[in-house]
Chain A
C-alpha cells in the first residue's frame, strides 16, 4: 500500500498507547467527588423546605430546556428565538389535558411532548427551507404569535386567569416531584447521548459544519434539520409540562420574549454540545433569583433603587445573563462545559489535563444566528 510523507509509520500500525488507568487512590478521590455531587443533587434537597424544592425542580426543568435548545443551536447550528412558545405550549397542553380533560399526568406529559414535536414539525416544515438569521426571525414571530394569540385562547389556557396543573398522585409532594423531574432529565440526557452516538446525531454534526459534504454522504440535509427541530420540540414540550405541574398553575403572561432570551443565554453560557455544561447552565439561570434572594439585605437594596418599577431578583437573569454571554463569546466559546471539561474527563476516569479542550471544541463562529 502507498505511504505518504506525512504518515511514514503507516506500514505497521503502532500499538495504541496504554490506556490511562487511575490508581486506587485516584479512584477513591473521584468517588468522593461523585458522592459529593450525588449528595448535593439527591440528598441535600430532602433537608430543604418545600418552597426551595420548587426552585430546584425548576432548575432541573431548565436543564431539559437547555438540552432542547442545544439540539438546534449546538448540533445543527440554527437558532430558535421562540423557544418559550414551545415550552409554554407544552405547559398549557399538559395542564389542559389534566384539568379540563380529566386525563392523568402521564397522558398530559405525553401529549405535551407530542404537541411540542408537532408544532416543530409544522413550523420547521414550512420555514426550514431557509437557515440562519431568517429562520431565527420566523421563530421569533412564532413566539410572539403564540404569546398574543395561542396563549390567550380561553379554553386552552384559562385566559388571563391561567390553568391549574395539579401534581400526579404518586408524586404529589414537592420532594417526590423533584425526583420525578430528575428521572425525566436523566432520560433526556440518555436519549441525547445515544442520538449523538448514532447516525442521527452524526448527520447533524456533519451538516452543521458543511451541508454540501453531508449531502454527498447521502444525508437529506433538510429532513435531518427538520428532525433536529422536532427532537428539540419534543424536549421543550416535555420540559414545559414538567414546569407546569411544578408550579401547579400555568399563567399565560410568563411565556414572553424575555424568557426566550434567558433560554438562549443559558444554553450558550452553559456550553453548546456539552451535556454537563448545559444542565449546569440551565440550573444556574433558573436558580439565579433564588440565590440572589439568599444574599442578606440585597433585596432591600434593590428595592431602594429608584425607577418606575420595583426591582426584584426575578430580572437577574436578564441583567447578569448578557454579561456572562459576552464573557462566554469573547473568552470561552465553549461556556461552562468547556471550563469544566478537564474535571468531567477526570471524573470519568481519565488523566487530569487542564488544557484538554476536546475535539469538538466550540468555536465562536458556532454561536451565530
Chain B
C-alpha cells in the first residue's frame, strides 16, 4: 500500500501550467526519485503535496487519508517531513537549537507551563535536548551542535537540514535536491546515509535529485517530469534508458519563460 499518493494534481500560475495531472505514489519503505529538467515542476509538486499551494484539481492522500485541505503544519503533524531546495533552517540559531525547535510537536507540555517553567516542561526540555544531541551524532554533526547555522558550508547545511527534518519525527521524507552543493564522493556517502536512515527510522522517502548515479543507486522507483507533466515512470534503469527522458535532458531546452516564472514564484514565497 502506498503511504503517500498524489492523484492528478494540477496547478496553474498565470499562463503557466506548472503541474498537469501529476500522479505519483510512494510505497512503504520505498525511496522514490523525482527527476526532470529545471522548471519541470518538481518543487511545485512538493509544494502541492506539503500544502504550500492549494491545487487547482487533484487530491493528496497520506496513508489513505485525504489531506488535500489540511494546512502545512497539520500535515507535518501527520508525519510528512520535507526539506527545501535552498535549505530550510533557522539560520540565526545553532544546530542544536534548530534540532530542538524542530521537535515542536514532541514538546508535550502546555505553552503556559513552558512560560512559567513547570516541572513537566523542564523535564521535557531535557529529553528534547538529548534527542537533538543523539540525532546530530547519528548524522555526524556532533561537533557542530553549538555552531550557528549561518556560515556552515552548503553540503553540511544539507545534512543539518536532514537531521532537523528527522527531529520532526516523520514517516515520509520529501527531500528537495539533497545532494546539491556536494561533490560526487559526498553525494555517494549521502546515498549511504539515506539508506541507513530508511532502515533505522523506517522511512519512506521521495527525493528530487539531479545527481543521476545517486538516483540509480538508491531509488526503487523514479518519476520523470517535464513541462509540468509526468513523462515517464518506472525503475531507475528503465527511466534512465528512456528515449523521452534523454530528449528532455539533452534535447530541447526548457522554456525560459517557465524557468523565470518558477524563480519569481519561489522568491515571492520566500519573501512572504
Contact = CB atoms under 8 A, between A and B. Distances in A.
B96 to A, nearest CB: 11
A218 B105 contact: yes
The residue among A7, A195, A209, A218 with the most chain B CB atoms within 10 A of its own CB is A218
Contact of A213 (B71, B89, B186): B89
B201 interface: no
Interface in A156-202: 190-191, 194-195, 197-200, 202
A77 to B, nearest CB: 11
A101 interface: no
Contacts of A343: none
B77 to A, nearest CB: 5
B28 interface: no
Interface stretch (B141-149, B202-210, B215-223): B141-149
For chain B, what secondary structure do more than half of its interface residues adopt (helix, strand, loop), or is it mixed? helix
A3 B104 contact: no
Contacts of A199: 104, 107, 109, 111, 114
Contacts of B245: none
A219 B90 CA distance: 13
A218 B125 contact: no
A321 to B, nearest CB: 27
Contacts, number: 142
Interface residues of A, number: 40
A217 B121 contact: no
Contacts of B213: none
A14 B147 CA distance: 14
B138 A210 contact: no
Given A2-B190, A203-B101, A205-B90, A216 B82 contact: yes
Interface string A327-367: 00000000000000000000000000000000111000000
A205 B168 contact: no
A217 B143 contact: no
A210 B98 CA distance: 12
Given A191-B116, A205-B90, A10 B73 contact: no
Given A2-B140, A7-B156, A219 B92 contact: no
A13 B139 contact: no
Interface in B90-109: 90-94, 97, 100-102, 104-105, 107, 109
B193 interface: yes
Nearest to A223: B73
Contacts of B94: 359
Contact of B269 (A197, A203, A205, A212): A212
B155 interface: yes
Given A209-B90, A219-B104, A1 B73 contact: no
B142 A13 contact: yes
Nearest to A359: B148
Interface string B179-195: 00011011001101100
Contacts of A210: 88-91
B115 A4 contact: no
B181 to A, nearest CB: 11
A197 to B, nearest CB: 7
B81 interface: yes
A6 B196 CA distance: 20
Interface in B49-108: 50, 52, 71-73, 76-77, 81-82, 84, 88-94, 97, 100-102, 104-105, 107
A10 B104 contact: no
11 contacts: A1-B196, A2-B192, A2-B196, A7-B144, A194-B114, A212-B72, A212-B269, A212-B270, A215-B52, A216-B72, A218-B77
Complex A-B, nearest 7 residue pairs according to Cβ-Cβ distance, in ascending order: A198-B114, A10-B140, A215-B72, A199-B107, A218-B76, A213-B88, A218-B105
